[in-house]
Structure 1
Amino acid sequence: MWKPLDTRGWKEKRRGDISGVLGSVREIIEAVRRDGDSALFDLTKRFDKIELEDLAILPEEIEDAYEEVDVRLIEALCEAEARITRFHELQKSRSLWLEEVEPGVTLGVRTIPLSRVGCYIPGGRAAYPSTVLMTAIPARVAGVPEICCCTPPPGDPLTLVAMDIAGVTEGYRVGGAQAIAAMALGTETIRPVEKIVGPGNVYVTAAKMLLRDYAEIDFPAGPSEIGIIADETADPAFIAADVLAQAEHDPNSASVLVSTDAGLCDRVGVEIASMLQTTPRREIIEAALLQSGYVVVRDRSEAVRVMDAIAPEHLSLQVADPLDLLRQVGPAGSIFVGPYTPVACGDYASGTNHVLPTAGYAKVYSGLDVHHFCTRSQVQILSPEGLSAIGDVVEALAEAEGLRAHAESVRVRRRG
């Protein structure tokens, strides 16, 4: 089961083909566009086998949810919220900065939050209160005043508590592509948002991509994955535990170990086989291991080249000098440095965000952060001295492009 892996064409293999669901997703989007709330009720009955009485999650339901959740879990959510908030506060940009770059020429950037965003929280195989924290907290830190959450019915109590702790302003019990359509297009109950963030299945991903003209998205995100670079100093039990942790997410999750030590790869396989005997989600893990495995390389440079081509969602560096390797590796969604930094800590409570690009998208997208929830405007201020300094350049280039009115807009000021 734990085997050598051919990583060529990784991006194409991992991204899969959403064309098979596009027809169904377009039908769902059109139904929501046409029938609004009525379509959401009908589609929920069809796909989730639940007849809803109301879409909105009411404040009293949140209060009741607190009574159903173990106090230790509430405390854990609160501590995770504090750590996630602390990290994202460090990312905040000044609302306005200005700098005089030469006499009479001042340039800067103004940053403002979006006004309304939507967070998609998956359901199905499990409840994901941590994803509530990861999607809503950076939006709240950015200053977004309206944060809408959609999650499949009936609504897990722990997820509802997480919504309250994270600062979600409104929640709805609707999932799948129909939830994305509702947030993008709006219905009688759910007002449209400016941006939709959060992971989901292939139907959710397809809906996000089809509706980008109506609401921007974070990035395409598919099944979870980890890439591990390890040398002879690595502990095979640590690596095996990380592989199993990633594999238990989803049957389509994947793990790739890249190592200069063939013996380590074999020892990891032995540990995986041993740990599998007692793991509770064995069927899911075994399915995920079918697209997982290891690559033996000659040296560290080759290890970096192999991993850079993968651009994994999670990258674990378990080598003798991980900080040196950190300076060498290329794109990855989130990087975990050293043997005592399991991915699970980033999933829940180190403070970094676990909503990350998968399937090689880390080459062009960054993980969810405060900047996803802001827009930035460039600012310029010229004095008469500054206009005089750059006026000749502007007039010459404008005339060269045949835009004489552009040139005249400068001349009229300089003549005055």
Structure 2
Amino acid sequence: MQGEVRSIRDAWSSLPSPGEVGIGLERFTGQRMERILAIVGAIGSTALGIQALLGAVTRLIRLDGPHLAIMLLVFLPLLWMIIACVTGRWVKQACGTFAVAYALSLMLWPAVVDRSIQEPAAQPWIFFLVNICVVAAMLAFPVRLQFAWALGVPLVYGYVRLAQGDFAQGFWITTGFDVSFTIILGMVIVSLAWMFRQVATGVDDARDMAVETYAGAAAASASEEERVAMAALMHDSVLAALIAAERASSDRERTLAVAMAREALTRLANTEASIAQEGSDEPVNRAQIVAELRRTLSEQGADAVVEERGVSAEIPGKAARAMVLAARQAIGNALIHAGGRGLHVVAESADADRLTLTVQDTGPGFDPDAIGEDRLGIRASIIARMAAVAGSSRITSDDRGTVVELSWEPS
């Protein structure tokens, strides 16, 4: 039994969290392309590296300190680069190290090579790794540095090779051919890698756009299904409330019918709310409501204030919650349709158990009767929400602005 419990616990702990699902998939093609380039680079580096190593060993006349240092400076970073490209770890660091180490080895080559050996037609072993250095730069550096390495490293090799032959005429022809060949091949390598990466980026961007489009369509479909389900629920709730009201013959039955109607209105009012919390019956001070409205204005970036008038008041939590949500909707409407012009919010209490919130602006105004029935911003989020807690709402609007007045008092 304990083994089964442990197995279930291990399986549960292995489930990915919602935030972990899909991480890294948005650049899938780009990552695959980088992996392919690294594998191809490892294969080419291994082949030419073995050829260079054999050339270095077979042509080595004496193994002194400088020669050994140059070989270690070249072949150790090359070995690390090959291992990193095969395993897919520390690729940029290993390739960058080899690219710099090889360039440094080229610069030190005239001080190490034996100039008494004049063989213009035979390239030294370090020549076989010129384009491998370009491949390393392609895997490690930005595009500009890649082209700089593809052009600069062959030119450095050419200068070093000519310096080895004391700039004799016999070295110019073979060195010119070697330099032009390595420059052309290096430019082709960098250009192809850039093109493949651009194609991979385009595929990833197209995938992201397709996923985003699908997500939007799925959200719209879910919203429409939710709207249909809510419409059916509201139809049943309202129908049940009307039947209960029609058949009510006692005070208790009438109270029950009123409660059913308020529940239906509350569900309708909270249809588009992000947090469908009605609040509790615990009293809420006016200062808390004002603080919430000020926080709303700050989050919306509105240049407006919340003015307090009258005495301090406390109202039930459900009523406070409904008034705050309705006032938020009114503030949002003022910011969207009036541009926030003349936005002013007033919290006024004539008695300790009554509260009135007024949201006014100096926008162009609108005709409340001309609003479509499918627009729930005013009907559901303001009027129905206040009615659900036995409150009242009054909206007046003309060309001088709009005033939304939300009131609650004990019945």
- Do both share a fold (TM > 0.5)? no
In proportion to residue count, which structure has more helix?
2
Report which structure shows greater RCO (CA 8 Å, sep ≥6): 1
In proportion to residue count, which structure has more strand?
1
